[in-house]
Amino acid sequence: MDQLKPLKYRRAKATDALNLWKLKNDEVVRANAINHEVVLWQDHCRWFSSALRNPHIKIWIIETQRGHFIGDVRIHDGEVSIRLTEQYRGKGIGGRAIARFAAAGQTAKILEHNAPSMKVFTENGFKVISQENGIFTLKNEH
C-alpha cells in the first residue's frame, strides 16, 4: 500500500489507449456506467484520438509512483467521472483523485446502485440535485 502514497497524476496521451479501453470494458466499470455497452477497439481509438484534441475534455491518468496504471479521471464539459482498475477499488484512491480534480460547479452522474461512487463524490462536496431514470445528478458545492 505504501506505493499508493503519493499517487502520480498526468494528462492522458496516445499510448494510454489500450489501458483505457480495457478499463472501459471491465465488467464492473460497464455495470456502473451510463452506457453499459462493450466498446470495440476501433471505436475507442477513434473516440480517444478525438478526445485528446478536444479542449472540453481533460483525461488524467492515475498511476502508482512506479508508473503502474490505476485508472483515470475525466472531466468533459464540467462533468467529472472516475474509473479504477479492480485491484485499486475500495482503497480510498477515488476520493483522493476527486479531491484533487473537482472544482466548484462541476457535476457528476451516478447510477442509483453505485453506492461507492455516491459516497466518494458526496464526501468531496457533491450534492444530489436531481434524479431521473435511476441516474443521480450531483453538483459540487465547494
Q: CB count, 10 Å around CB of 67?
A: 9
Q: Are 36 and 30 in contact (CB under 8 A)?
A: yes
pLDDT of residue 141: 87
pLDDT at site 142: 78
How many CB atoms lie under 10 A from the CB of residue 48?
20
What are the residue ranges in the chain where pLDDT is below 70? 1-4
* Confidence (pTM): 0.93
Check residue 106 and give left, alpha or beta (phi > 0: left; psi -120 to 50: alpha): beta
